[in-house]
Amino acid sequence: MSTVLLAVIAVILCILFRILNVNSQPHKPLIYGRDKNFIENILFIAPFLSEPYIPTRLWGFSGHVQTILHSLIGRVRCPWPIGARIMLVLPDRSTLTYDLYEPVGAEHEDDVTVAICPGIGNTSESVYIRTYVHYSQRHGYRCAVLNHIGALNSVPVTGARIFSYGHTDDFSYMIENLMEKYPNTKLILVGFSLGGNLITKYLGEDRKRPKNIIGGISICQGYNAIDTMVYLLQWQNFRRFYLYIMTDNYRNIITRHKRMLLNQDLKIKYNLDEKMIVSAGTLPDLDEAYSRRVHGFKSVTELYKWSSSAFYLERVKTPMIFINARDDPIVPEALLPNVREFVSSYDKKMFLELAHGGHLGFYEGGLLYANPVTWLDRAVVGLVGGLLMAHNKCSPKEHIETDCSISDEEPDLIKSATILYRDPLDKQHKYNTFPS
């Protein structure tokens, strides 16, 4: 009996070790891009980006554990930053809110506002947003956080819709309002997951945008909703489980506001069947029953194509930085070639690809208990500073004096990083390290 028990314990331990991936080691982020000067400016402000990311030892090497802990617990000892809620009534009668947080740390010569777009169904009250805002405030940055329409329990839905994967107008209204309040501020856009897709699409759309926008940072987005759904519908790596959770959350938002969203007039106008909406088992089913009808698309595929930033990337002229982890169970590595190719073909673009971190996790440090501030919190604050430096060095006034590069007196940080670029003459699209 004891032999059988030992065998069972051994099997359980083997499974746990495999799930937790404890044999893995920390790795440096891979940095893709062709613009050496731009990357040098970023690394000068945030040199740790070229150093190994060290997840929490016992569980941080598992993308699943990182993702689930991020979703259920959020951050360790999460602060609650103090801000003001701004309410806007939009032309379609929707009520849009965003939260505004003034800096509490060291002052900068520049007035900088970080405009944040959270993930699907998230708001300024989401734990990972609160942690980042608090950390960013303490570094002297003003933060504005969009609250996706329908996601806040305390704010009623007053129009005929909630947020969607590709509807960037809400974010645009927040930006316009910020410009009225702070006409001289420099804007850096930060998007998490779905928010990363939205800010990238916003920057690539044929629309009027303020010249104050000096950069964008996208974290853990999937780029192409059509391809993403193909993977999420598979059981491999438990992706279908995550799809179920996302479907349930999105459906709950709709049903929570059904008095407005599913009233008789709207059901007739958009041909909505409440039973189909309530019984939808996957996001494509729910989007067929609700989203594509409300937003006026003939098919779910048409909705997904319109929503996906991958189809707008080439028109993004603003300096951009993208972050993804290869062990993200929601955004698999197979979805990343698009962004690798993009940053390797255009200037002032950069892609940080990490081996670990999961989906928006990126916990670091410790054996069992992670540090209160995650690698992602530190990275995004550092990237904001790097984008500001790159902008100031390349501004028209200083262009003649600086040539937009790091001076010889400053350390050559790029030599300590693994920088990958694609030779435009290489037809097989292989990546090579930057020549030093």
Enumerate domains of the chain plus CATH numbers: 25-224+308-394 (3.40.50.1820)
pLDDT band, residue 77 (cuts 50/70/90): confident
Residue 206 is among the residues annotated as catalytic for this protein: no
Highest mean pLDDT among 67-81, 124-138, 187-201: 187-201
List, for residues 150-201, the tens digit of each pLDDT value.
999 999 999 999 999 999 999 999 999 999 999 999 999 999 999 999 999 9
Active-site pick, 193, 218, 307, 309 = 193
**Average pLDDT in the 297-302 region?**
97
Residue 359 is among the residues annotated as catalytic for this protein: yes
Q: Are 338 and 230 in contact (CB under 8 A)?
A: no
Q: Are 354 and 326 in contact (CB under 8 A)?
A: yes
- Beta-bridged to residue 217, according to DSSP, are 190, 321
Active-site pick, 167, 328, 344, 377 = 328
Burial class (CB in 10 A: 0-12, 13-18, 19+), 332: buried
Is the pLDDT at 410 greater than 70? The verdict is no
Phi, psi of 49 (to 5 degrees): -65, -20
Is the pLDDT at 435 greater than 60? The verdict is no
Chain mean pLDDT for the chain: 89
Question: For tokens 């200037």, what's the residue?
Answer: 347
Lowest-confidence segment of 15-24, 94-103, 254-263 by average pLDDT = 15-24
Is the pLDDT at 204 greater than 60? The verdict is yes
pLDDT at residue 12, as a whole number: 47
pLDDT at residue 270, as a whole number: 97
pLDDT at residue 70, as a whole number: 85
**Average pLDDT in the 20-33 region?**
87
Is the pLDDT at 5 greater than 90? The verdict is no
Query: Cα(60)–Cα(55) distance, rounded to whole angstroms?
Result: 5
Q: Are 419 and 31 in contact (CB under 8 A)?
A: yes
pLDDT at residue 79, as a whole number: 83
Lowest-confidence segment of 216-225, 365-374, 390-399 by average pLDDT = 390-399
pLDDT at residue 337, as a whole number: 96
Residue 193 is among the residues annotated as catalytic for this protein: yes
List, for residues 308-364, the tens digit of each pLDDT value.
999 999 999 999 999 999 999 999 999 999 999 999 999 999 999 999 999 999 999
Is the pLDDT at 406 greater than 50? The verdict is no
Active-site pick, 170, 359, 377, 391 = 359
pLDDT band, residue 407 (cuts 50/70/90): very low
Closest CA to 151 of 295, 254, 246: 254
pLDDT at residue 74, as a whole number: 73
Is the pLDDT at 7 greater than 70? The verdict is no
Q: What is the pTM of this model?
A: 0.91
